[in-house]
Structure 1
Amino acid sequence: MKNAGKSLALGAAVGAVALAMGVDAAMAGADTTFDTALTQFTSFLEGSGGKVITVLSFATGVVALASGKFSLSQVAVPVGVGVAAGTGVPIVTSTVTATI
């Protein structure tokens, strides 16, 4: 209970300082500062970057299989990486866009 009071007091102090300094709340949606970087990054992951990451993951699985220890994760991880690189980026982007 003692720590809760300290935390509440600290939170109130931080809020008072922010209010006194005129700090505005950050609102997402209208800002386009990072649109170029977001477009480049998503294009990279959906295109050649996603393919390279998938091939490297597959190669790692093949090397692990060659070591003589079989594990289902050696097959499942490259498949998961390929699916995530191919379909994960559009899903995350559309979810973030819909939320904001």
Structure 2
Amino acid sequence: MQATLKQGRRLELAIIAIAALVFALLWFAGPAHAGADTTFDTALTMFTDFLQGSGGKIITVLSLGGGLVALASGRFSLGQVAIPVGVGVGAGTGIPIVTSTVTATI
């Protein structure tokens, strides 16, 4: 009989604790504003400017140089020419596409 009373009291305490937790979560919850955070805007701007400017050109030239070295080694493949072109296009136009997609999603 006492075991049942102890178990019932534990159940009541658990229910009270859960109710208090739910009340606290609802009472102290603040509004969430998606996209209002500007913590990393400076880093994002600097990184995208680098990739669209001199950084993108350097990456494209290095990729083209790797393709030319591979061509000179005797292994001809269309991918050795197409990959540097794709890297150049991706560095030039891919950054604004990805940035606008992420901004629109968030």
Taking structure 2 as the reference length, the TM-score comes to 0.68
The answer for the alignment partner of 1:34 in structure 2 is 40
Structure 2 portions without partners, runs of 5+? 1-20
Give the counterpart letter for 2:90 in structure 1. Answer: A
Mapped to 2, the partners of 1:27 and 1:37 lie a distance apart of 21
Mapping of residues 13-92 of structure 1, within 5 Å: 28-92=34-98
The answer for the alignment partner of 1:99 in structure 2 is 105
Give the alignment's Cα RMSD to 1 decimal: 2.0
Mapped to 2, the partners of 1:27 and 1:47 lie a distance apart of 32
Percent identity between the two aligned chains: 78
User: What SS is found at the alignment partner of 2:63?
Assistant: helix
Give the counterpart letter for 1:67 in structure 2. Answer: S
Detail structure 1 runs of 4+ shifted over 4 Å in the superposition.
none
Change in 2 beyond 3 A, CA 1:27/1:75? farther
Paired positions, count = 79
Q: How far did residue 27 of structure 1 move? A: 6.1
Greater Cα radius of gyration, structure 1 or 2: 2
Structure 1 portions without partners, runs of 5+? 1-18
What are the superposed Cα offsets for residues 57-80 of structure 1, whole Å, 9 maximum, x if unpaired? 000000000001101110010000
